[in-house]
Structure 1
């Protein structure tokens, strides 16, 4: 037996001697090659995979449900009844927060309380001050803070039931309770801080939305809003259904007087569309304006006013002459704005100009230039036949090439397209 042990020891010693002398070990050669291969080709960043295949089981459960509040709450209740321990509750809550906008419940306080109810009760409550100091169950507390953060983002004020659920889950001394207390302190103070609140549900009605947006942009109490066309559907003789979009305009008495003093040798411009965000809804509006030199309003000068003897002298005695607190700003002279409108289709802009002629007769003598920033649009007025329209366009093109100007000697509708700085197609219409 002792001899057998000596033989085994001698075999191990010989194997160690061969390794020290540099003789390669066949069993370790593949490992060495694998190490060098890994060092030569470092791992790359993971490539994006298919979103459907990358879904967690909880996200897939939300994805296959009908997008309403009842289905959303049903998924949460099924998860709570499936296991008493609520294993995977953090992943379930994160998936629920992700799919709330798709179900339209991101502003429902009852649903947020249902999500907080997913946490198992009386499990994460700290037992001593050391657990409170070192953030007892940090992942669960951070998940609860995410729920409160999403409530804060959507402007949802928690109630007493929210506090009861947090205390039942994490106790009194924890970070979610601190977050709840800060929200209850600041939310009532900032609830009515906005002097121009946006009504709820205004996005459903395009006419009401257009009126509200135009009043905000105009900022003139004397401005009159006119609804030129209501959204409607019309069934044609061939069975097709034709939809009519809305057209709403606004104009103040001051704008009417400015347009009356417009120089008829200069055209008026219809520009747009300009975006306007109202919460999460983006709308577009158009303006009717002119160049700065087109409108010249003579102002009466006070005969007693003199540069040597000013009527009013503004002097800041608390500041020295060498102190200059002004900012270097570049003053850009802009032309007057005569009217604004919101239209569902750019083809309705011609009708808007025609309706403005009833209260502004000067538009019948001034050429209108459409400067639209979108893609090329075919804005043209109805003419007698295609041949006469093509003839008029050729005549306008020839006059522009010879430098004869933009003044028109005949009557009728005239169109001409030009491009400037890539802003899109323009259309000159004389109405």
Structure 2
């Protein structure tokens, strides 16, 4: 009944508005529509230029040198070219695409420079209706894309970023809400990882290998040993041989396990296994045993007061237990040591085994089996034609002889 009354009242209101004069002042109507839907633009009205004369912003970034100074120079030239900054959305989107190529994807100052490209106090809503219906949606979505890229690369905005957003879009805009969400969650998740990755990775391969091996090893008593430093050696025939770095790690518990290894089973050098630290991929190798190499200690039944020692009882289960889920337990061999090498061939890994014999004499009595596989091509460095030919010959030899045994 109430809805019917509302419909009748609306019908009467429309009937009263019909006899309004058809001719009314054009200025009053335009001001009314402008107050409801859009904000007043400063200065005289300017027509939008056609799309064919818009400057190609990608070419502006491609022509300059790839550093921060040239990137900021392009932004300054754009801001000083036109007071109204027409085409600022296309400029900011092009800058976001080119930031990783300039190495500025984690620079907070450059992100604030991008937010400063927006015209100030133009997109601020004037009333509640403009705030409700996403005033200037394209510009607000562009600012949110800037904040999304900052979130993707872990860049925390500061007070200057908030000031630029409020000055451009107002306090109730969607970019400001996105900024508030970032400032709420980023400090809470910043120290959530108990094993954080260092902010700046070492450029030295030996120092980087130490960091990676300490990160992999779960034993704090494990000791990192540098077996070989990167060097070059001149042979008698005049050729130069490059020696890559060789860094290993082993704990006292691993040394004790290796000393108890069954001599009837070989130890295996397996790898390479990739380890990613941010955008850096490093390969490591392990010295392990086969799952069947574990020594099973047989206990005499007479030594125990409880006979038998193991009982396999089929106990009744509750009706609510779900027996459909099953887990396949895969046994793996024990890990005796780990290392990282620049070359990763049998010669370098054989030298690693020889260095381990100083602290593990049992290796001199055990056969060593190499099971090396080629790593993914997308994470390997570019090879020279000679290295590629040698690698292919090694792979062909490995197909006919998959496991090579080395007696030490």
TM-score range, shorter chain: 0.7 to 0.9
- Return the alpha-carbon distance in structure 1 between the equivalents of residues 352 and 173 of structure 2: 61
Alpha-carbon offset, residue 288 of structure 1: 0.8
Query: CA 1:419/1:242 → structure 2, altered by over 3 Å: closer, same or farther?
Result: closer
Helix, strand or coil for the counterpart of 2:79? helix
Partner of 2:227: 228
* Structure with greater Cα Rg: 1
- Return the alpha-carbon distance in structure 1 between the equivalents of residues 72 and 117 of structure 2: 11
Partner of 2:18: none
> Which string of whole-angstrom CA distances, capped at 9 and with x for unpartnered residues, describes residues 306-354 of structure 1?
36799xxxx9xxx973343574100112111111111100231111011
CA contact (8 A) 1:373 1:425 kept: no
Query: CA 1:300/1:156 → structure 2, altered by over 3 Å: closer, same or farther?
Result: farther
Query: CA 1:66/1:166 → structure 2, altered by over 3 Å: closer, same or farther?
Result: same
CA contact (8 A) 1:250 1:339 kept: yes
1:322 maps onto 2:336 in alignment = no
Alpha-carbon offset, residue 172 of structure 1: 1.5
Aligned residues: CA RMSD: 2.9
Alpha-carbon offset, residue 262 of structure 1: 1.7
- Return the alpha-carbon distance in structure 2 between the equivalents of residues 298 and 91 of structure 1: 73
Alpha-carbon offset, residue 238 of structure 1: 8.3
- Return the alpha-carbon distance in structure 2 between the equivalents of residues 320 and 265 of structure 1: 43
1:342 maps onto 2:340 in alignment = yes
Comparing 241-250 with 174-183, which one deviates more in the overlay? 241-250
Partner of 1:426: 403
Partner of 1:351: 351
Helix, strand or coil for the counterpart of 2:160? helix
Helix, strand or coil for the counterpart of 1:269? strand
> Which string of whole-angstrom CA distances, capped at 9 and with x for unpartnered residues, describes residues 71-113 of structure 1?
1111111111111111111111011111111111111111100
Helix, strand or coil for the counterpart of 1:150? helix
Query: CA 1:144/1:236 → structure 2, altered by over 3 Å: closer, same or farther?
Result: farther
Partner of 1:66: 65
CA contact (8 A) 1:258 1:295 kept: no
Query: CA 1:335/1:116 → structure 2, altered by over 3 Å: closer, same or farther?
Result: same
Partner of 2:368: 368
CA contact (8 A) 1:250 1:341 kept: yes
Partner of 1:205: 204
Alpha-carbon offset, residue 198 of structure 1: 1.3
- Return the alpha-carbon distance in structure 2 between the equivalents of residues 280 and 295 of structure 1: 38
- Return the alpha-carbon distance in structure 2 between the equivalents of residues 126 and 301 of structure 1: 86
Partner of 2:289: 290
Partner of 2:84: 85
Query: CA 1:231/1:362 → structure 2, altered by over 3 Å: closer, same or farther?
Result: same
Helix, strand or coil for the counterpart of 1:141? helix
Alpha-carbon offset, residue 297 of structure 1: 5.6
Query: CA 1:362/1:345 → structure 2, altered by over 3 Å: closer, same or farther?
Result: same
- Return the alpha-carbon distance in structure 2 between the equivalents of residues 226 and 250 of structure 1: 6
Helix, strand or coil for the counterpart of 1:249? strand
Alpha-carbon offset, residue 227 of structure 1: 0.7
Alpha-carbon offset, residue 359 of structure 1: 1.3
Alpha-carbon offset, residue 117 of structure 1: 0.4
Helix, strand or coil for the counterpart of 1:349? helix
Alpha-carbon offset, residue 134 of structure 1: 1.1
| TM-score normalised according to structure 1 size | 0.70
- Return the alpha-carbon distance in structure 1 between the equivalents of residues 406 and 65 of structure 2: 51
Alpha-carbon offset, residue 274 of structure 1: 0.6
- Return the alpha-carbon distance in structure 1 between the equivalents of residues 161 and 131 of structure 2: 21
Partner of 1:43: none
| TM-score normalised according to structure 2 size | 0.74
Partner of 1:404: none
- Return the alpha-carbon distance in structure 1 between the equivalents of residues 176 and 96 of structure 2: 19
* 1:83-232 matches, cutoff 5 A: 83-232=82-231
- Return the alpha-carbon distance in structure 2 between the equivalents of residues 72 and 236 of structure 1: 48
- Return the alpha-carbon distance in structure 2 between the equivalents of residues 206 and 427 of structure 1: 29
> Which string of whole-angstrom CA distances, capped at 9 and with x for unpartnered residues, describes residues 54-85 of structure 1?
xx811111112211111111111111111111
The count of corresponding residues between Structure 1 and Structure 2 is: 328
> Which string of whole-angstrom CA distances, capped at 9 and with x for unpartnered residues, describes residues 24-54 of structure 1?
xxxxxxxxxxxxxxxxxxxxxxxxxxxxxxx
Helix, strand or coil for the counterpart of 1:142? helix
- Return the alpha-carbon distance in structure 2 between the equivalents of residues 367 and 99 of structure 1: 54
Helix, strand or coil for the counterpart of 2:292? coil
Alpha-carbon offset, residue 264 of structure 1: 2.1
Long gaps (5+) in structure 2: 1-54, 376-396
Query: CA 1:105/1:242 → structure 2, altered by over 3 Å: closer, same or farther?
Result: farther
Helix, strand or coil for the counterpart of 2:57? helix
